A = this chain, B = another copy of it.
Amino acid sequence: MLNSITQENIKVGEIANGLPLTIPVYRLKGSGAGPSVYIQANMHGAEVQGNAVIYQLLELLKHTPLNGDITLVPYANPIGCNQKSGEFTLGRFDPITGTNWNRMYHDHTDLIPEFVEAHQNLDDSALKAAFKSTLLEQTHALLDGDAYRLTTGKRIALNLQALAHQADLVLDLHTGPISAKHLYCPMYARESARYFDIQNVLLIPEGFGGAMDEASFCPWWQLSQTLAQRNREFPIMVEAFTVELGSQEKIDLEEAKQDAKSILNYLNHKKVIDSNEYQPNQMTRYACYLKDYLAYYAPMGGMVEYTAPLGEPISAGTTIAKILRMEQYLSEQPLHEITLPVDAIPILHFASASVNQGTELYKFFTHYFEL
């Protein structure tokens, strides 16, 4: 083993019997010549495949020379991960409040005006270091403040941010329900999307919506914008992505190895590692703006056969689902074919065949284009 790996368990909360909630943190030390990396998985309880990707990353990285430090966090959410309801994992939202676990990260952009005022005379490198320190200090200040001010989810999120803000490159590993692989990529980082072996790329605006990727890059993007208004060109120093690995409730170790390699392509491109071995596959990559990411809700209640191929472009008019309604077999048509209203790439569909009217049936890239 070339690199040593260390483990630390951080406490992120306490459950009702008073026991601590902990998260394992794995660290590999780099030479310092390259950017540092933070990768986490399984913030949503059912989205387990990222843990397998982290396993494969550890297996690959322990033999790879490292320029930058890498921090890896599987099981990022110890509540969601263990919340069963029937056979499935009910880990998308806090079971008490309904709040999506991935919408509770803290937005630090309000720190920027004061920060810029105080530090604008620093050079780029010192400014970067100072801002990183500010983000970390503020994160710890929130964690160390009055305990009664933090919700369960916010405390977990802040603990993860305390790790993520140390890094230059942040990857949050998720999955869809039943889903093709896709990548959430901030618009400024679209060139980087070419290094992942992921065909479909969602280009998101730089605003904050509560997710880890946004919590990581928004302050840096905003800092860059603020300095630009003062006529200083300051690069966006952090890149962050949500990597959607496919379907939830599923572990596939071989596929995880491919996804680990896909991540290493990107890290190689960023000089975290130097290895000719990790090069992206040739493929047609498609991009779609978030505003064109169409949520298609079930137009009626029923039992659904999903027929659209995930990940591949299909034409308007294609049948995407057959909805069976056996309550009115005699009085109405029992089988309804649902067709796509526009040209699109189906990215994911609902995990169950049973839907209410208004359940999210599919999500589609529309107005997509080659990246």
Contacts and interface: CB of A to CB of B under 8 A. Distances in A.
Contact of A95 (B54, B86, B302, B326): B86
Contact of A301 (B15, B86, B356, B357): B15
Interface in A237-260: 249-253
A146 B338 CA distance: 13
Contact of A78 (B17, B24, B83, B151): B17
Interface string A272-305: 0000000000000000000000001111111111
Given A17-B301, A88-B351, A92-B86, A329 B360 contact: no
Contacts of A149: 297
Interface stretch (A96-104, A129-137, A197-205): A96-104
A24 B326 contact: yes
B58 A329 contact: yes
B17 A327 contact: yes
A210 interface: no
A153 interface: yes
Interface stretch (A45-53, A111-119, A163-171, A223-231): A45-53
A45 B353 CA distance: 11
A7 interface: yes
A180 interface: no
Interface string A59-86: 0000000000000001100110111111
A16 interface: yes
A313 interface: no
Max chain B CB contacts within 10 Å: which of A21, A81, A327, A353?
Answer: A327
B93 A326 contact: no
A24 B329 contact: yes
A154 interface: yes
Contacts of A233: none
Given A19-B327, A303-B48, A322-B253, A359 B24 contact: no
Contacts of A16: 81-82, 89, 301-303, 354-356
Nearest to A54: B326
A356 B297 contact: no
A327 B358 CA distance: 24
Given A16-B301, A17-B78, A301-B17, A296 B89 contact: no
A144 interface: no
A84 B46 CA distance: 16
Contacts of A95: 84-86
Contact of A324 (B52, B89, B304, B334): B52
Given A17-B301, A301-B13, A90 B82 contact: no
A177 interface: yes
10 tightest A-B CB contacts, nearest first? A152-B358, A14-B301, A93-B98, A147-B299, A18-B325, A98-B98, A16-B354, A14-B357, A85-B85, A74-B326
Interface of A: 5-7, 13-19, 21-22, 24, 26, 45-46, 48, 51-52, 54-55, 58, 74-75, 78-79, 81-90, 92-100, 146-155, 177, 249-253, 296-305, 322, 324-331, 334-335, 341, 350-361
